[in-house]
Amino acid sequence: MHDYKKLTTFFLRALGEAYKKRSTILLLSFSQLTKLFLLSSLFFFSPNKREFFTMSSALRPLLPRFGARAAVSVSAPRVTSRVPMVTNNIYRGYSTSSDTKKSGSGTLLFLGLAALGGAGGYYYHNSTQSIKTPSITEAKTKSIDYNQVYKDIAELLDEDSDYDDGSYGPVLVRLAWHASGTYDKDTKTGGSNGATMRFKPESTHGANNGLVIARDLLEKIHAKYPNISYGDLWTLAGVCAIQELGGPTIPWRPGRQDALSAQACTPDGRLPDATKKEDHARHIFYRMGFDDQEIVALLGGHSLGRCHPDRSGFVGPWQEAPTMFTNEYYKALAERKWIKKNLDNGGWQYVDKNNTDVMMLPIELDMYHDKGFKKYFDLYAKDENKFFEDFAKAFKKLIELGVPFKGDEKVYVFPKTTE
């Protein structure tokens, strides 16, 4: 009985969502659908099926206007062309049969109930998952030429020489990082699977300010390759940007599935706050499953890009060549004299005493002076090859957090277009 109550609750919630979105299931009224589900649930739970059919005679007047098509439409969540619907063969046969009108009311009743029961079961068994989405078929993913997707993204990087320092690369890295950095290893929520930044409120979280630029830019690619998931597209764009701007080669594989609604969005506060201390950095990254060495390696991504006062509240690049992926970030931290500078918005940041256009975030100096972190900062300042090696491993781990890989996905190693 406890499971039945839970099943009923989840299905009614799903019906409510369908009712708001005017799904094709609404050939029936909400109250009729509720009645239909309750009886269909009794069918699956009842030990005496003959007794059930006697009880369910009240359903028969509903069947002529319900029809085969509506019965099948409720058997799976509404999907886009990007994620194909996976339909059971019995439902597919029912929806395409030319003999539907000849079927007896008992047969129609059984199939209609089976469809509704299947939908309720789907919602019930997947209710604890952060991403409720049908599987992407192997045929669809294999139809995508990921090597060409990579090349097309590379062509976009310097499309607008007036944007920032002449490259969209840094903002694409930030998109991949922020889409992935919401993962929680304990609750198994967040991460690049789902691409939940497409929805509010996540798209409006303060840490994601300005990333609409990157998302909109990649719509050009998605329009050309509509079967690629946004999660795969965003992470592939991050890999492409790092490699094309001189960084290490990062193996990448597809398999992310897009969330269908904002219900999968993660709460605000899962990304780092640059105004806090080093213990905050550990809290954020440990939650994802990273250790101190991986944390410092990932920070090297700040060799790319700059801060904007209308996005993060800070201003300036971390080094003088913000479109070149190097270990200069670590060298700057270790070798330069950093002084505090007050900002017009009431905040403050560190700047290089000899070049105040170059900045560091408050949390970064605290991390550099932390005993556990400092040895890795100093290591990467001295050894760029080691930094590249460790960054590639950590970034690959980051963009794969929470992704439901099957284990047989092809791993791509993209050659740089500049080579």
Give catalytic residue positions. 178, 318
Angle at 7 between CA 6 and CA 9, to 5 degrees: 65
Is the four-CA dihedral 53, 59, 65, 70 of positive or negative sign? negative
With b for 16 or more beta-carbon neighbours within 10 A and e for fewer, the 245-270 pattern comes to bbbbebebbbbbbbbbeeebbbeeeb
Half-sphere exposure of 61 (CA within 13 A, CB side): 3
* Structure-token pair, residue 390: 């460790």
Catalogue the long-range contacts made by 388-393 (C-beta closer than 8 Å, 24 or more residues apart): 388/247, 388/248, 388/327, 389/248, 390/293, 390/294, 390/297, 391/247, 391/248, 391/297, 391/298, 391/300, 391/301, 392/248, 392/249, 392/250, 392/251, 393/294, 393/297
Residues β-bridged to residue 258: 194
- Amino acid, single-letter form, for residue 311: R
Helices (H), 24-168: 30-45, 49-55, 63-73, 89-96, 105-125, 138-142, 146-156
3-state secondary structure of 96: helix
Helices (H), 144-270: 146-156, 169-180, 212-224, 230-244
* Structure-token pair, residue 42: 């009794």
3-state secondary structure of 356: strand
8 Å CB contact between 126 and 219: no
Q: Is the peptide bond before 415 cis (omega within 30 degrees of 0)?
A: no
* Structure-token pair, residue 90: 């019995």
8 Å CB contact between 82 and 227: yes
8 Å CB contact between 295 and 398: no
- Amino acid, single-letter form, for residue 163: Y
